[in-house]
């Protein structure tokens, strides 16, 4: 299924979409039927009575969770969800290309109706918000109340931080980056991946409309997208996906083909990607190294000199596109999506009003507003798949990455030169997080690495230190 999803987003022809939707729906039903075997609950219950190790008990917990999830939704529901999602994704690509919200709206309406139905089925009780059931698909160990508590400091302090940091960025003059042909970019990125620790013998890099990672731990697929006028966009989106890929490749082989190979917390996965993209790859000495690397591959250019490259990479400027946002403004994009998802799900926001609500929210949070839907509510692919509840994971992941790296920066090992430091950091992440796969949740991983539960404080301190000091 993972490889079919990758193929659909990278290579599949438009005319093949219908047949692929049917095939993926059928395969998902096969998976669910196996998980609904009538004897499984009793077997798992009996196993729970045995003396088990910590990892065995965690695996049993994950097995029980998979079985419980599979029994929540019947075959007809699963078939409708997969079929509608594939059709919506195909229509989203067309709508985004033509900047036509009506095309997306028609395809997304039945997906949204299905989401409301699923949220009702999944929420623990009628006393909790509808959104809780969908949030727990991606963050099974966090409540909406806890999420709001974690996000409250961001909502309070981020707007002022954005204003001050963007004012400081505005006074730095920069030389424009060179335009770089797509083939040149692709060759450089394929050469860069091994330096990041991504094993190309166990994975590959491809092109897609929206960057993503997919596959299985022994065959990890990552993608990026290219713009010859903005070559750094592909570089940093690829570095982000390489973080996801290294996590998958780092899962211990003994967990392959078990539920432990599936990371339970989307935020924990995002934390690894943001560790690469926002923490390591924005350090001054990494930027110096990257400058030399890019000029070897793209030719000497004033725009690629380290100081100028650092000015581009470190620029804080409210912008329209989430995946290209700097790390100061990035959480504001997530706060907007969280607000809109809850409003769409509750019915407070009619789908037809989404473009206007998006523009208003962007203006309020970031002081910018799109004049088209391509750069507005059509920019992300996630809603096509019914992934309400996923976007908070990006901000939670940024918090976790900042908290882990605040601890790593206290070690003498941090003062190594970039290549040695990068290798040491990967070793720490491998030992503390990657090898365990689904063995630890988000908060437990923060406790393992830092001794402290997850909070927003480290992220806010990091942003202030990097951009306001």
For 194-234, what is each residue's pLDDT tens digit? 999 999 999 999 999 888 999 999 999 999 999 999 999 99
Residue 172 has pLDDT above 80, yes or no: no
pLDDT of 171 above 80? no
Tokens 């996923």 belong to: 390
Looking up tokens 């491809």 gives: 206
Asked whether residue 173 carries a pLDDT value surpassing 80, the answer given is: no
For 322-377, what is each residue's pLDDT tens digit? 988 899 999 999 999 999 999 999 999 999 999 999 999 999 999 999 999 999 99
Please report the DSSP string for 24-82 in residue order. Answer: HHHHHHHHHHHHT-TTHHHHHHHHTTS---HHHHHHHHHHHHHHHHHHHS-HHHHHHHH
Question: pLDDT digits over 287-308, tens only?
Answer: 999 999 999 999 999 999 999 9
Averaged pLDDT for residues 308-314? 93
Once rounded to an integer, what is the mean pLDDT over residues 442-467? 95
pLDDT of residue 150: 96
- pTM confidence score: 0.91
Separation CA 459–CA 158 (nearest Å): 10
Q: What share of the chain is helix, strand, coil (3-state, %, to 5)?
A: 70, 5, 25
Q: Report d(CA 427, CA 432) in Å as an integer.
A: 8
Residue 246, pLDDT > 80, answer yes
Percent of the chain predicted with pLDDT > 70:
100
Average pLDDT, the chain: 94
Q: Using DSSP, state whether 429 is helix, strand or coil.
A: helix
pLDDT at res. 316: 95
* 143 has pLDDT over 80: yes
The Cα 53–Cα 57 span in angstroms is 6
Confidence check: pLDDT of 170 > 80: yes
**Predicted pLDDT of residue 125:** 86
Residue 126 has what pLDDT? 84
Q: Nearest-5° angle of CA 343, CA 344, CA 348?
A: 55
pLDDT band at 53 (very low <50, low <70, confident <90, very high): very high
Using DSSP's 3-state secondary structure scheme, residue 190 falls into helix
Task: Look up residue 197 and give its DSSP letter.
Answer: T
3-state secondary structure of 131: helix
Question: For the segment 56-104, what is each residue's pLDDT rounded down to a tens digit?
Answer: 999 999 999 999 988 898 889 988 998 999 899 999 999 999 999 999 9
Mean pLDDT lowest among 126-130, 409-413, 428-432: 126-130
Residue 369, token pair as written in the block: 């507003």
Question: Alpha carbon of 162 to those of 100, 156, 168, 196, 468: distances in Å?
Answer: 31, 12, 10, 30, 10
- Calculate mean pLDDT across residues 40-67: 94
Q: Name the pairing type of β-strands 203-207 and 219-224.
A: parallel
pLDDT at 190 over 90: yes
DSSP string, 150-189: HHHHHHHHHHHHHHHHHHHHHTS--PPPPP--HHHHHHHH
């Amino acid at each position: 299924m993972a490889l079919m999803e990758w193929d659909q987003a990278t290579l599949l022809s438009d005319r093949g979409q219908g047949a692929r939707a049917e095939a993926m729906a059928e395969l998902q039903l096969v998976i669910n039927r196996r998980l609904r075997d009538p004897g499984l609950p009793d077997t798992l219950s009996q196993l729970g009575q045995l003396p088990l190790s910590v990892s065995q008990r965690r695996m049993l917990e994950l097995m029980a969770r998979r079985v419980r999830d599979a029994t929540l939704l019947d075959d007809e529901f699963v078939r409708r969800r997969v079929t509608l999602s594939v059709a919506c994704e195909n229509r989203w690509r067309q709508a985004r290309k033509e900047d036509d919200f009506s095309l997306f709206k028609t395809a997304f309406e039945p997906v949204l109706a299905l989401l409301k139905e699923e949220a009702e089925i999944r929420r623990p009780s009628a006393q909790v918000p509808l959104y809780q059931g969908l949030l727990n698909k991606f963050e099974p160990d966090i409540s909406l109340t806890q999420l709001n508590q974690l996000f409250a400091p961001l909502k309070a302090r981020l707007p002022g931080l954005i204003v001050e940091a963007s004012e400081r960025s505005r006074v730095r003059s920069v030389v424009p980056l060179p335009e770089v042909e797509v083939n040149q970019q692709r060759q450089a990125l394929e050469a860069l991946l091994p330096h990041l620790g991504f094993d190309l013998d166990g994975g590959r890099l491809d092109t897609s409309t929206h960057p993503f990672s997919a596959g299985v731990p022994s065959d990890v697929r990552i993608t990026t997208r290219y713009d010859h006028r903005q070559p750094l966009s592909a570089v940093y989106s690829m570095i982000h996906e390489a973080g996801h890929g290294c996590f998958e490749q780092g899962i211990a082989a003994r967990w392959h083909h078990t539920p432990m190979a599936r990371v339970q917390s989307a935020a924990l996965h995002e934390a690894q990607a943001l560790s690469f993209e926002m923490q390591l790859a924005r350090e001054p000495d990494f930027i110096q190294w990257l400058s030399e690397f890019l000029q070897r591959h793209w030719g000497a250019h004033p725009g690629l000199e380290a100081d100028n490259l650092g000015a581009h990479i470190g620029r804080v400027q409210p912008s329209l596109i989430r995946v290209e946002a700097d790390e100061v403004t990035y959480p504001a994009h997530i706060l907007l999506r969280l607000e809109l998802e809850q409003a769409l799900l509750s019915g407070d926001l009619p789908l037809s009003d989404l473009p206007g609500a998006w523009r208003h929210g962007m203006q309020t949070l970031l002081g910018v507003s799109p004049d088209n839907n391509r750069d507005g509510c059509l920019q992300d692919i996630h809603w096509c798949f019914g992934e309400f509840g996923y976007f908070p994971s990006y901000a939670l992941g940024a918090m976790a990455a900042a908290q882990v790296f605040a601890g790593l920066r206290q070690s003498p090992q941090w003062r190594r030169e970039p290549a040695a430091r990068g290798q040491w950091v990967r070793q720490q992440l491998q030992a503390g997080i990657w090898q365990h796969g689904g063995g630890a949740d988000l908060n437990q991983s923060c406790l393992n690495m830092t001794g402290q539960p997850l909070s927003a404080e480290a992220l806010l301190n990091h942003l202030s230190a990097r951009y306001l000091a």
